[in-house]
Amino acid sequence: MLAALEEEMATNATLPLLESNLVFGEGNPNATVLLIGEAPGFFENEKRRPFVGRAGQLLDRLIAAVGWKREDVYITNIVKRRPPDNRDPLPEEIEAYKPYLTRQIAIIAPRVIAPLGRFSMNYFLPAAKITRDQGKLFRFDSAFVVPLFHPAAALRSTGTLEALKASFAKLPIVVKRYEELIQRQEERVSAGESQSAIQEHLL
Ligand code: URA
């Protein structure tokens, strides 16, 4: 299913930034955790893989520090082609790529989503501010969302790096909490509680 979506994107000639390569994303197609960056950079465009440059190396260290492997999670970007000179993605570029992110999320169905930086954070939480809201826990449909600072920003500031490390370390705790909620939900279903009462508990 992800392969079909990638193929559809690759052949969509109406998307912006067509002069660069498609960097669709990679990882476990059934991942519990989805990490979403901004847009591919130079190395990502070369290799057609997300987060393989310096920011990606930091992301790899953050993933390893919580005892996970890169291939256990799924990594992608909100804009899936490189903007020229690594400039910020434009609002219309984000809009054009958004429907594909929506469908990618629906296929992977992650439990915990960590947007990296404000562009992907604002997809889930349009009014959020990254400095105020990073590391906080939000609900989005049936997933938990924990906005994090972008690793590239953390490479430029020690304070940001420390905050990113501390917030990233919360992700396994959030995964555990989600699993406990699901477990309790299943117990309630077998005890015959109504679905609407259960839903209230989850939210
Ligand atoms: N920065 C991003 O936002 N995404 C990448 O894939 C690499 C760097």
- Concatenating the DSSP letter of every residue in 111-151 gives SEEEEBSHHHHHHH-TT--HHHHTT--EEETTEEE--B--H
- When pLDDT is averaged across residues 179-201 and rounded to a whole number, the result is 76
**Probe residue for ligand 1, chosen from 23, 38, 121 as the CB with the greatest number of ligand atoms within 8 Å:** 38
Collapse the DSSP code of 30 into the 3-class scheme (helix H, G, I; strand E, B; otherwise coil) and give the result: coil
| CB-side neighbour CA atoms (13 Å) of 40 | 25
Please give the share of the chain, as a percent, with pLDDT higher than 70: 95
Say which amino acid occupies 70.
R
Domain count for the chain: 1
Indicate the pTM of the whole model: 0.93
C-alpha 42 to ligand 1 mean position (Å): 9
What pLDDT, on a 0 to 100 scale, did the predictor assign at position 185? 84
C-alpha 186 to ligand 1 mean position (Å): 38
Collapse the DSSP code of 107 into the 3-class scheme (helix H, G, I; strand E, B; otherwise coil) and give the result: helix
Please give the share of the chain, as a percent, with pLDDT higher than 90: 87
| CB-side neighbour CA atoms (13 Å) of 116 | 30
Flag whether pLDDT at 4 surpasses 50: yes
Using left for φ > 0, alpha for ψ between -120 and 50, and beta otherwise, residue 119 falls in alpha
Least confident of 11-20, 76-85, 95-104, 189-198: 189-198
Measured CA to CA, the distance from residue 195 to residue 70 in angstroms comes to 36
Q: Confidence class of residue 181 from pLDDT cuts 50, 70 and 90?
A: confident
Q: Mean pLDDT across the chain, nearest whole number?
A: 95
Flag whether pLDDT at 172 surpasses 70: yes
**In the structure, which protein residues have their CB atom closer than 6 angstroms to any atom of ligand 1?**
37-41, 44, 50-51, 53, 55-56, 77, 152
Task: Give me the CATH number covering residue 143.
Answer: 3.40.470.10
Measured CA to CA, the distance from residue 202 to residue 125 in angstroms comes to 19
What pLDDT, on a 0 to 100 scale, did the predictor assign at position 131? 98
Structural domain that includes position 183: 2-202
Measured CA to CA, the distance from residue 147 to residue 108 in angstroms comes to 19
